[in-house]
Amino acid sequence: MKVGPYRISIRTSALIVPGICTGYGLYQYLNVRQLPDSKINLVLIEPVFVMMVFFTLWVLVREVEFRREKAEGEPEADNSSKRGTFRLWLRSSSTKKVGGFMLLSGLYLGLVEPVGFILCNFAFLVAGMLLLGVRSWPLLVILPAAATAVIYLLFQVWMQIPVPAGFLDFLP
Amino acid sequence: MIDWTDFSRGAAALLSWEIPLSIILGLALGTVFGAIPGLTGGMGIAILTPFTFRLPLMPSLVFLTSVYTGGCFGGAISAILINTPGSPASVSTTLDGYPMTRKGLSNEALGISVAASAMGGFIGMVFLLVIMKPLANLALRFGPPEMFMVAVFGLTIISSLHEGGFAKGMLAGLFGMMLGTMGMSSTGAIRGGFHIMYLLDGIPVIPALIGLFAFSELFFLMEKEYITESGETIRRNLRKMLRGFYTAFRYPVNVFRSSLIGVIIGALPAAGATVANIVSYNEAKRLSRHPHTFGEGDPEGVVAAEAANNASEGGAMATMLALGIPGGQATAVLIGAFMLQGLLPGPRLFYKHMHVVYGLISAELVEEVLLVGVGMIIAYYFAGIVTVPTRILIPTIAMFCTIGSFALRNAMFDAYLMFAFGLLGWIMRKHGYPVIAVVLGIILGPIADRELIHTNQLFAGDLSVFFTRPISLALVVMSTLAVAFPYLVRRRRER
């Protein structure tokens, strides 16, 4: 946004957390307002929501950048390096690892119930270690097998907390 | 105050070979339970109670209280080594314990935590012995306004968090409080929760805690070879652990103050070790000559947090034994264990079985001494975690995070929730928001909400009650000073 000789801008990523916080606060506030006994249930939620809005504005004001526009004839700022930095970040090995691990974890959580804990956990540990750079095959087999067995025995057998069985529902 | 005849009778009941065995076994199992994220000391007592059915009275009770003591300490091990509080009661231990590990001081931090836990627990038990009855009576004078102010006082720590600045800390804390109000309120209304059955009871604390602290940390660990900042492997070292152990003795005032806070808050029903841990850390930081070093690996932070949560056991036991009121999950299960042995905690226990009470307290004092040895040995073996490369550690911790969250209610939903909180924690930390503020909000928000609703109902919406009741007024003044003080100090330093 341009105001006089200044360009006011805010990084889009700076909006993510305030957006999540205030978005949920608004949902909760509106939800409780619709209840029949909303007054008593809002006794803490209302002031907390008002304060959330206040601190969201405070955070956003601090994130806003004011930049003076260049006068005519002055060379334009070179933004290509910024774009380059973003591309580099996107292509960096750590970003790929983080993204890959997020996907892998999501897949693991999604498949534990239908496939079963034993198979899924073993596959997750092998895939996770491969993704992060473990290349020793004995380690890739022994550690996941041992960890899965220990967890299974600890929870299923000793503490009698049933873990999802999936395909292996014939096991004790 | 102490009936020495009953005391000697109770202490004499401990002179059998079964007692030290029960203590050592209970402490070891409790410590392991406490150290595994997702399992708590309270859960340990619940699981192990059936094994005590056939034991005689004293060994069975001593065994279960040892599990409780070990569980209180065990949470510190994973809080220090992998930034995951083994139980919510160690939430503030992560604030300085994990930064110490990243600086390569994991051995020292573990030694400090053992010493602070044992000292805090011992002081708590001495308090229990001396002021059991008056303390229990004082706890009964805490009505809804006072409990609301205790929760607010606990939340004031947010104002002194350095990470991200005041506004980001407050926004994160308020967000946590809002999340904490999810689920069924004390009026019976269902608030928020996206119509998900598993959220009817509100946000489960343990998956949120594991996600925000542990799972989010995994994404940051991917950029490193080892947990430590320098990338060096810090081998477990008993000599360094002992050095850390002696370090804790350099802060006697901090230990005593934190223990006192722990005993008082521990005696309040529904407050317990977690609130004690948070409040005492906050107080240690506020009263420190160097508050800016808190959160960056200050041993005083670990001392305050650990002394308080272990001392809270003394307070919780006072309320449980004298009034029969369980302060939390662990004491609730302990009451059940007492009942299995034909005893009912409460005033009658004092009248009829005072020697059992004294015997138990004497055993607790011995437990705190033996915790030094047992805690050191278990912490020493756990300390090996920092020598494991992150490429192996990350998938393994992720597995523990998942199964620990799942085990809480046998529900995969809790594991999904943990994952969602993990992503949220990662995003928040990337943008400089302190996730500890969210956790404080989730833990203290429901207490504040419930007690404010009760206050409103009891006093017909008259909020002047906070200023007319002496304990509440004192807490209002302390909370106001707690918020204003760090802000004013920061302003003064900036000038």
B371-397 residue pLDDT tens: 999 999 998 888 777 678 888 888 988
Count Cβ atoms below 10 Å from residue A152 Cβ, excluding itself: 17
Residue B182 with chain A: CB contacts under 8 Å = 28
- State the SS3 of A12-61: HHHHHHHHHHHHHHHHHHHHHHCCCCHHHHHHHHHHHHHHHHHHHHHHHH
B126-146 residue pLDDT tens: 888 887 767 666 666 778 898
CA distance B257 to chain A (A): 31
Cβ of A49 and B182 within 8 Å?
no
Residue A117 with chain B: CB contacts under 8 Å = 403
**What single string gives the DSSP state of each residue in B283-295?**
HHHHH-S-GGGTT
Count Cβ atoms below 10 Å from residue A2 Cβ, excluding itself: 9
pLDDT of residue A82: 54
ipTM value for the complex: 0.86
Token pair 């892998």 in the structure block, residue: A104
| Contact status of B184 with chain A (Cβ, < 8 Å) | no
CA distance A73 to chain B (A): 37
**For range B357-367, the mean pLDDT:** 88
B274-301 residue pLDDT tens: 888 888 898 888 888 888 888 888 999 9
In chain B, what are the domain boundaries? 4-494
pLDDT of residue B495: 65
Mean pLDDT of chain B: 84
Residue B115 has pLDDT above 90, yes or no: yes
Residue B162 has pLDDT above 60, yes or no: no
B46-75 residue pLDDT tens: 767 767 767 788 888 899 899 989 988 888
Task: DSSP letter for B324, please.
Answer: -
Shortest CA distance from A93: residue in chain B: B223
Q: What angle do CA B411, A100, B409 make, to 5 degrees?
A: 10
Query: Over the range B323-341, which residues count as b (16 or more CB within 10 Å of their CB) and which as e?
Result: bbbbbbbbbebbbebbeeb
Residue B449 with chain A: CB contacts under 8 Å = 43-45
pLDDT of residue B34: 83
| Contact status of B478 with chain A (Cβ, < 8 Å) | no
**For range B220-228, the mean pLDDT:** 78
Element (H, E) at B281: helix B272-287
| pLDDT band per the 50, 70, 90 thresholds, residue B426 | very high
pLDDT in tens, chain A (172 residues): 667 777 777 777 788 999 999 999 999 999 999 988 888 899 999 999 999 999 999 988 888 777 776 666 666 555 555 555 666 666 677 778 889 999 999 999 999 989 999 999 999 999 999 999 888 999 999 999 999 998 888 888 877 778 888 777 766 6
| pLDDT band per the 50, 70, 90 thresholds, residue B118 | very high
Residue B178 with chain A: CB contacts under 8 Å = 21, 24-25, 28, 45, 48-49, 52
Check residues B370 and B274 and name the one with the higher pLDDT: B370
Integer Cα distance of B129 and B453 in angstroms:
35
Cβ of B168 and A109 within 8 Å?
no
pTM: 0.76
Beta bridge partners of A66: A8
Given a contact cutoff of 8 angstroms between Cβ atoms, the answer to whether B435 and B429 are in contact is yes
Token pair 């959160």 in the structure block, residue: B295
Check residues B7 and B80 and name the one with the higher pLDDT: B80
Residue A49 with chain B: CB contacts under 8 Å = 178
B401-417 residue pLDDT tens: 888 888 878 889 999 99
For A55, which of B167, B219, B428 is closest by C-beta distance?
B167
Residue type, B492: R
pLDDT of residue A75: 61
The angle that helices B412-430 and B435-458 make with each other, rounded to 10 degrees, is 110
Q: How far is CA B391 from the centre of its chain?
A: 30
Question: What is the percent of chain B where pLDDT is above 70?
Answer: 88
Distances (CA, A) of A106 to A103, A111, A128, B115: 5, 9, 12, 40
Closest C-alpha to A132, from B218, B21, B72, B368 = B218
